Amino acid sequence: MVSIASGTETPLDKAAAITSVISAEDIQAMGATDLDQVLETVPGLHVNHSDQTFSPKYIFRGMTSSFNPQALLLVNGIPVTTMMFGNRTTVWGGMPIKAINRIEVIRGPGSALYGADAYAGVINIITKTSKDIQHTTVGARVGSFDTHGGWVEAGEQLGSMGVGFILEYQETDGWRKNIDRDAQTGFDDSFGTSASLAPGPVNTSVDQVDARLDVGAENWQLRAGIQDRRNIGTGPGVAQALDPEGRYSSKRFNTDYSYRWQDVVSGLDVEARVSYLNITQEPENDITLYPPGAFNGSFPDGFIGSPGYKENQIRFDLSSIYNELDNHRILSGTGAFWADLYEVTESKNFNPDFSPKSSIEDVSNDPSQVWMPEEKRTNYYVFVQDEWQFAQNWQLVSGIRYDHYSDFGNTLNPRAALIWATTDAITTKFLYG
């Protein structure tokens, strides 16, 4: 069964999209320790790395870009998308798998349900509840590249209320693949200098702490999670010039509360949900974009730029499913989203025209020099979708979503899916999105 394709529980082969489901048992069997390793097993989805801090890119059917905003990542149906780049942040630091109950993936557009960011595909990570944690479990692992970590899972039923808790920790120096030539090598060829640190190893260290809490009863659920990342290396360098000392930290805190009303009237179920997400990106030291001696010696201490920011997001969603009409199931919803990009910071030793400054300056309060302005965004949306079983082996799913954004206007995203159960073993789908 899968719910990501149409917002309602549907058998996988009859879903109104090209979908895959990966269970916790599948993850355990494949030996994966991180989300990226799991997603790489999905047909039509390739996990690559961005030229921006080496963060993962989820490439559906070859659609790619530096920041990868066209692939939407959800945790329990809630986007973890930054207003800054439209992705999961450029300082991601990975996601361990012990808290994951299953992963649902759409290959192809899902914007009619999930908004404009769901252009190339959608990934929904569903975390474990107390029902999914059968025993209290403690574990540890060690590996190459000075990798070690541990985890604890615990679940308890307290009367009608279930409580689940998962804590994971891991730190690693990261794999040390050598880079023969970097971006600075090309400048050295032009200027006749030798500033490049290549050949040298890629910088992929990271320390991870993840904690998840799930509390719920029959009609309500409260979830909270924190992902703390420290000592995050800059990969091949933020500007693709090796920076072996550069480190970032990032924190992501989320919480959501949902309540379900069943049979409000005959055949009508309603769910309301409010959620909060806070994201931070902070440099732990000076981030060297290009090494000492860069640009024909114009930057003897290196070309340094250390950006940071914080972001708050609040969402409210109200959705309903009505199934009293013959052969129809109608899903509808409305909601609002508020985002605030604040405390944008930067320290650097170059001017807007890339000429050198006399020293490293904090330009956080200078709008003409800081790397990104502080902004706010409001988004309101409404959608409706009809699942029509018009014959025994035929179903038509059609829907449309309207969004209004305070900063750039409106979007309208339609979808249509005609599903034909051709034989017991073959399903034929005609999809538009």
Q: Which helix (H) or strand (E) holds 24?
A: helix 24-30
What's the rounded Cα separation, in Å, for the pair 377 and 407?
Answer: 6
pLDDT at 417 over 80: yes
| Mean pLDDT over each residue of the chain, to the nearest integer | 94
Q: Are 300 and 292 in contact (CB under 8 A)?
A: yes
Is residue 6 one of the residues assigned to a domain?
Answer: no
Q: How many CB atoms lie within 10 A of CB 239?
A: 20
Q: Is residue 207 part of a domain?
A: yes
Residue pair 70/120 in contact (Cβ under 8 Å)? The answer is: yes
Tell me the two tokens of residue 239: 């500007």
Residues 303-352: tens digit of each pLDDT:
999 999 999 999 999 999 999 999 999 999 999 999 999 999 999 999 99
| Residue 408, domain member (yes or no) | yes
Residue 2 has pLDDT above 90, yes or no: no
> Domains in the chain: how many in total?
1
Residue 53 predicted with pLDDT over 80: no
Cα separation of 374 and 361, whole Å? 19
- Distance from C-alpha of 398 to C-alpha of 100, rounded to nearest angstrom: 31
Is position 69 within any domain? yes
Under the banding of pLDDT at 50, 70 and 90, the label for residue 117 is confident
Q: Which of 197, 188, 180 is nearest to 295 (CA)?
A: 188
Sequence-ordered strand ranges (E) for 284-302: 288-290
Establish if 237 belongs to a structural domain.
yes
Q: Confidence class of residue 52 from pLDDT cuts 50, 70 and 90?
A: confident
Q: What's the distance, CA 157 to chain centroid?
A: 31
Would you say the pTM of this structure is higher than 0.75?
A: yes
**Torsions phi, psi for 187 (to 5 deg):** -65, -35
Report the 10 Å Cβ neighbour count for 342: 11
Q: What is the pLDDT of residue 308?
A: 96
The one-character DSSP state at 43 is T
pLDDT single digits (tens) 202-257:
999 999 999 999 999 999 999 999 999 999 999 999 999 999 999 999 999 999 99
Residue 420 in any domain: the answer is yes
The CATH number of whichever domain residue 97 belongs to comes to: 2.40.170.20
Tokens of 231: 């000592």
Residue 56 has pLDDT above 90, yes or no: yes
307, 283 contact by CB (below 8 A)? yes
The pLDDT of residue 51 is 80
Measured between its terminal Cα atoms, the distance across the chain in Å is: 22
On whether the CB atoms of residues 399 and 110 are closer than 8 A, the answer is no
Cα 289 from Cα 425, distance rounded (Å): 54
Q: Mind listing the pLDDT tens digit for each residue in 245-276?
A: 999 999 999 999 999 999 999 999 999 999 99
Question: Within a domain: residue 5?
Answer: no
Q: Where are the alpha helices (DSSP H) in 60-149?
A: 111-114
For residue 381, is it within any domain?
yes
Q: Inform me whether the pLDDT recorded for 61 exceeds 90.
A: yes
Whole-number CA gyration radius for the chain = 24
Q: In terms of residue numbers, what domain contains 396?
A: 12-432
